[in-house]
Structure 1
Amino acid sequence: MILKAKERGGGQQLARYLLAMRDNDHVELHEVRGFASETLQGAFSEADAIALGTRCEKHLFSMSLNPPEGAEASVEVFEQAIDEIEQKLGLENQPRAIVFHEKDGRRHAHAVWSRIDAERMRAINLPHYKLKLRDVSRKLYMEHGWDMPRGLQDRSLRDPLTFTRDEWQQATRAGLDARELKAVFRQCWDRSDSQAAFDLALRERGFWLARGDRRGFVAVDYRGEVYSLSRYAGVKSKEIEARLGDARALRSVQDVKAEISGGMTAKLQAFIKDVERDAARRSAVMDFRKADLLARQREERKRLTDAHERRWQAETKARSERLPRGFSGIWHWLTGRYAKVKAQNERETLEAWRRDRSEKDTLIYQQLQERQVLRQDIKAQRTIAQHELLRLREDVAKYQKLDRDGDDLRPARAREDHETKRREQGSHRRRGFDPS
């Protein structure tokens, strides 16, 4: 189970984020403990108010718990993990809230604690909490038999193709997965041993090598997006300079963009728009399927919740009627039968609560599986669009090469110098064969 956490303030903004339905299929406020209010907004308002009496600005400790894909983690698993983390970090008995999110066929949890010790009006210190959470995460993977990520096994084995939020947004604008972009740049780097070879490898994939304004060597795609080689190829700047030489010898980004713009044809642009239009249509169909599935699943959960409430009330009434009243109740109390009936009622109440929770988990597992199937279809459609866009990038590179082979794209001054030099060489040859 991947655990991510941070200290933060802004309780109201966090409450709105945790309860937002816009980015989630289902949201459930599972627990509010240690606060006077039973709502998340009210609880975090209390936490904000108490923190005003201290110097602590980041008075909340917010953590997300994400099981591996395909794992069926029950509510108990999440609760046990949260309890263990609470003990390991010294947050026992601190006010906390737990919220469950479900998205794309996966369920994860958010746990938020108040760091303020209300009796001493001091913030609880959380030294080395990232290392402690890493230990808990490793333990959870081993206890449940989940495949542990290589990066969690050994820090030196972490995936080199990780990406930042800015890189992801840039790749999304270009229509490609950031991981695929990084893999392309890394493959081009590994298969080349010089600037010429690297430039050729990039061009085969639809990218052009250029000189960046501040980042040294960069690559430019047909849309004009600029990519830092050190970031996307995962290579240090010194290694790039050692293999590719001086970046000042390359053309500027603006010059490369001008070449790309001049070489693109309306036909290729139309092909790209067709692919994007087809992808948008497929995405709209998937969005309709997703909305229909979510509506049905929410109705199923509502029916189950209503059925549980009706059954709970009926069973509570039946258990209440077992307890005798009046003189009979006094007699039962004296003989000890009252205590036996009360114990039976408490036992049945606990069993009924566990039964209802198990039925709810069963329904959630079934719905998660349904959404996972839909998610696989969505991923397949996205993969088709990404591969088509990547192939079109390669077609753009081939067209540029064909255009350069057919026409002289050098600047006018360079063409004039070449023609002058060619005429002078021809004149020297004629003088050399003059019979006089």
Structure 2
Amino acid sequence: MILKGSVRGSARELATHLLNGTDNEHAEVHEVRGFASEDLTDALIEAECLAKGTRCTKHLFSLSLNPPAQETVPVETFEEAVDRIEAGLGLENCPRAVVFHEKEGRRHCHVVWSRIDSEEMKAVPMPYFKNRLMDLSRDLFLEHNWDVPHGILDRSAKNPLSFDLSEWQQAQRTKQDPRIIKAVLRDCWQGSDSKEAFKGALESYGYYLARGDRRGFVAVDVRGEVYSLSRAIGIKSKVLNGKLGTPKDLQSVEEAKKLVNARWSEKLQSLSDDMDAKHARQKEPLDQKLNQIKQRQRQERQALNQHHQERWDKETKIRSERLPNGLGGIWSRLTGKYAKIRHQNAYEAWEALKRDEAEKEHQIVKHLEERSAVQRTRQRLKQQQQIERTELHREIAAQMEQRAERQQSLETDFNTQADNQRQTQRRRGLYRDNDDLEPEL
């Protein structure tokens, strides 16, 4: 499993994200342990209130567990992994909440711990937790015979096209795949041997080299989004400076945005809007089908939960009626029969619980398989649209460059004609500039 953790605050925002049923096809609170409230939002706010008695501002530890896309992982495997991670990070006695998300035909897990020790009113320290998570992630891949990503076996071989939350959010604004953005920038870097060549390669894809406020070299796209080149390409600033020199002589980000705005026209905006409308029309039937499946599956899950609750209540009543009352109950306690009945009831209750969990897991797997067929079609369409959008950006960049060249050509022609006209007037004695004026005595 890919494990990504962070220490953070903002309990209410985190609860909203975990319970988000819009971006996720299904969101289910699996466990809330160690809090006074069983409601997820109230539990996280409770942890935040407790943290106000300390100086800790990042009182929560948030973790996501993502298994390989092609694997169907049962709940028990997630639970075992969470317990191991909890022990490995020293969070055994901390309250926690576990939430499952299903998105794009896949299931992943989120876990949130409160780091505050309520007895000592101190936060549990989290030194080097990323290194520990990397080791635990590698062990989980090897134990389950999953294909191990190269970046986990060898940290220097990290996938250069992987992205973090901020890069994903930036790509969402521009409606592009963050992996394609990083691949384009890396291709421009690897295919150029000088600053001018790199600058020209970027502009051919609709990116403009600029000087960042804090990040050295950056690229600005035709929509005004700013990308850190060291992060996107996956190299250190020292290597960038070795090929490109210092960024001091480059235009600033604001100047690059002004250049883009100056070259942008209503025609180019129309091309982009038409592409967005076309892609929306293509996605609409698949989105409608997916929403219909999602709503039907939610109803089926609610019906199964209700059936389980009704059956549990009925079976609990039957088990409780087995226990003798009155004098018979006293006699059964003396003879040991009462203890045997209680033991049998506990065993049957455990078996009933495992039966319900198995039925629920079977339904979830069936639902995932049903949605994954639609998601595969949707993913192929998305990839095709990303290719079209990348080509559109190249076309827009080319038209912006042609527009700038025409503008420069017109300015040159105008200045040439104006100079010729002044020369003609000067020869005829009809024009005098400041150099021709005699100084006053």
- For the superposition of Structure 1 and Structure 2, which TM-score range results when normalised by the shorter chain? 0.7 to 0.9
CA deviation after TM superposition for structure 1 residue 151, in Å: 1.4
What is the rounded CA distance, in whole Å, between the counterparts of 2:128 and 2:83 in structure 1? 18
What is the rounded CA distance, in whole Å, between the counterparts of 1:265 and 1:17 in structure 2? 37
Structure 2 match to 1:82: 82
Structure 2 match to 1:144: 144
* Residues 107-163 of structure 1 deviation map (CA, whole Å, 9 limit, x = unaligned): 222222232333333333333322222222222111212222221112111122344
What is the rounded CA distance, in whole Å, between the counterparts of 2:105 and 2:50 in structure 1? 38
CA deviation after TM superposition for structure 1 residue 409, in Å: 2.8
Aligned 8 A contact 2:171 2:178 in 1: yes
Structure 1 segments unaligned to the other structure (5+ residues): 421-436
The answer to whether the aligner puts 1:181 opposite 2:181 as a matched pair is: yes
* Residues 399-424 of structure 1 deviation map (CA, whole Å, 9 limit, x = unaligned): 6788899998374179849x99xxxx
* Residues 254-304 of structure 1 deviation map (CA, whole Å, 9 limit, x = unaligned): 78547844xx794x7655443321101123333322221111011110111
Structure 2 match to 1:349: 349
CA deviation after TM superposition for structure 1 residue 363, in Å: 0.7
Structure 1, 120-129 or 312-321: larger mean CA deviation: 120-129
Partner SS state of residue 110, structure 2: strand
Structure 1 match to 2:2: 2
The answer to whether the aligner puts 1:58 opposite 2:94 as a matched pair is: no
CA deviation after TM superposition for structure 1 residue 88, in Å: 2.1
Alignment of 1:410-429 (within 5 A): 411-412=411-412, 416=416
Structure 1 pair 121/329, CA: closer, same or farther in 2 (3 Å)? same
Aligned 8 A contact 1:222 1:260 in 2: no
Aligned 8 A contact 1:199 1:209 in 2: yes
Structure 1, 104-113 or 252-261: larger mean CA deviation: 252-261
Alignment of 1:6-405 (within 5 A): 6-195=6-195, 197-198=197-198, 201-202=201-202, 205-207=204-206, 212=211, 221-223=221-223, 229-234=229-234, 239-240=239-240, 243=243, 253=256, 257=260, 260-261=263-264, 266=267, 270-396=270-396
What is the rounded CA distance, in whole Å, between the counterparts of 1:177 and 1:335 in structure 2? 72
Structure 1 pair 285/59, CA: closer, same or farther in 2 (3 Å)? same
Structure 1 pair 327/70, CA: closer, same or farther in 2 (3 Å)? same
Partner SS state of residue 350, structure 1: helix
Residue type matched to 1:184 in 2? V
Aligned 8 A contact 1:209 1:217 in 2: no
Residue type matched to 1:120 in 2? E
Aligned 8 A contact 2:222 2:393 in 1: yes
Compute the TM-score of the two structures, normalised by the length of structure 1. Answer: 0.80
* Residues 174-205 of structure 1 deviation map (CA, whole Å, 9 limit, x = unaligned): 443222122122223323334564455445x4
Partner SS state of residue 6, structure 1: strand
What is the rounded CA distance, in whole Å, between the counterparts of 1:129 and 1:277 in structure 2? 45
Aligned 8 A contact 1:29 1:100 in 2: yes
CA deviation after TM superposition for structure 1 residue 375, in Å: 2.2
Aligned 8 A contact 2:263 2:404 in 1: no
Structure 2 segments unaligned to the other structure (5+ residues): 421-441
Residue type matched to 2:375 in 1? R
Structure 1 pair 133/219, CA: closer, same or farther in 2 (3 Å)? closer
Structure 1 pair 182/301, CA: closer, same or farther in 2 (3 Å)? same
CA deviation after TM superposition for structure 1 residue 358, in Å: 0.9
What is the rounded CA distance, in whole Å, between the counterparts of 1:13 and 1:398 in structure 2? 42
CA deviation after TM superposition for structure 1 residue 93, in Å: 3.0
Structure 1 pair 110/332, CA: closer, same or farther in 2 (3 Å)? same
Aligned 8 A contact 1:207 1:219 in 2: no
Aligned 8 A contact 1:276 1:385 in 2: no
What is the rounded CA distance, in whole Å, between the counterparts of 2:395 and 2:343 in structure 1? 77
What is the rounded CA distance, in whole Å, between the counterparts of 2:116 and 2:247 in structure 1? 54
Structure 1, 212-221 or 188-197: larger mean CA deviation: 212-221
What is the rounded CA distance, in whole Å, between the counterparts of 1:409 and 1:359 in structure 2? 73
In angstroms, what is the RMSD of aligned CA positions?
3.6
CA deviation after TM superposition for structure 1 residue 73, in Å: 2.1
Structure 2 match to 1:434: none
Residue type matched to 2:317 in 1? K
Residue type matched to 2:16 in 1? R
Partner SS state of residue 7, structure 2: strand
What is the rounded CA distance, in whole Å, between the counterparts of 1:211 and 1:340 in structure 2? 79
Structure 1, 243-252 or 365-374: larger mean CA deviation: 243-252
Structure 1 pair 51/216, CA: closer, same or farther in 2 (3 Å)? closer
CA deviation after TM superposition for structure 1 residue 14, in Å: 3.2
What is the rounded CA distance, in whole Å, between the counterparts of 2:287 and 2:96 in structure 1? 35
Compute the TM-score of the two structures, normalised by the length of structure 2. Answer: 0.79
